Amino acid sequence: MSDPEPAARLRAKVLTVSDGVVAGTREDRSGEAVSDLLVGHGFDVVERALCADGVDEVAGTLRRLAEGFSGLVVTTGGTGFGPRDLTPEGTLAVIDRAAPGLAEAMRAVSPLGRLSRGTAGTLGRCLVLNTPGSTGGATESLGAVLEVLPHALFLLAGARDPHPHP
């Protein structure tokens, strides 16, 4: 298998999980900020989606976003301690393999990150990352792992060489 083209492996989708955004009572600032950060780091954001909070809503939307897709799926919202903050549970219901190092790195970026329950893992040929719903929390969390994401996506796409070269 030949190495995938860089543009093919640097594709992303962004999912905002928020009852308020779905209802139209809140603006999707974190989804926009995450998309802008990804584009600024060479990703092609091919879809932005919304879903309400809840395990089934998140799980179903993640399955839809991952179907036939090879790339990154970043969620924003639903990672805290609120009763409707169930993004990690919805994510865990569908991922194939956990990527705890990524989730730990995202939490370690700031003191408030310690309150995030976000997870990370693979779903088919996608890498799913949960980020907080605040604009700052989402971009800080994602920024903590951006440098390793191209290599992770390269491997998920079926690359043979498991080690990055400087």
Q: What per-residue confidence (pLDDT) applies to 135?
A: 97
Q: What per-residue confidence (pLDDT) applies to 164?
A: 56
> Token match 């839809």: residue?
64
Under 8 Å CB-to-CB from 131, ≥6 apart: which residues? 30, 34, 74, 75, 76, 79, 106, 116, 118, 137, 138, 139, 141, 142
Burial classification of residue 43, based on how many CB atoms lie within 10 Å of its CB (0-12 exposed, 13-18 middle, 19 or more buried): buried
DSSP secondary-structure letter at 161? -
> What is the reported pTM?
0.91
Q: What per-residue confidence (pLDDT) applies to 158?
A: 84
The 3-class SS string of 98-149 reads: ECHHHHHHHHCCCHHHHHCCCCEEEECCEEEEEECCCHHHHHHHHHCCHHHH
Tell me how far apart the alpha carbons of residues 91 and 67 are, in angstroms, rounded to a whole number. Answer: 15
> Token match 């092609």: residue?
44
Q: What per-residue confidence (pLDDT) applies to 8?
A: 47
Ordered by where they begin, the domains of the chain are 6-156 (3.40.980.10)
User: Sorting pLDDT into bands at 50, 70 and 90, what band is 159?
Assistant: confident
pLDDT digits (tens, 9 = 90+) for 57-77: 999 999 999 999 999 999 999
pLDDT digits (tens, 9 = 90+) for 89-115: 999 999 999 999 999 999 999 999 889
User: Sorting pLDDT into bands at 50, 70 and 90, what band is 48?
Assistant: very high
Asked if 122 contacts 155 with a C-beta cutoff of 8 angstroms, the reply is: no
Given a cut of 90, is residue 3 above it in pLDDT?
A: no
64 φ, ψ (degrees, to nearest 5): -65, -45
Given a cut of 50, is residue 26 above it in pLDDT?
A: yes
DSSP secondary-structure letter at 4? P
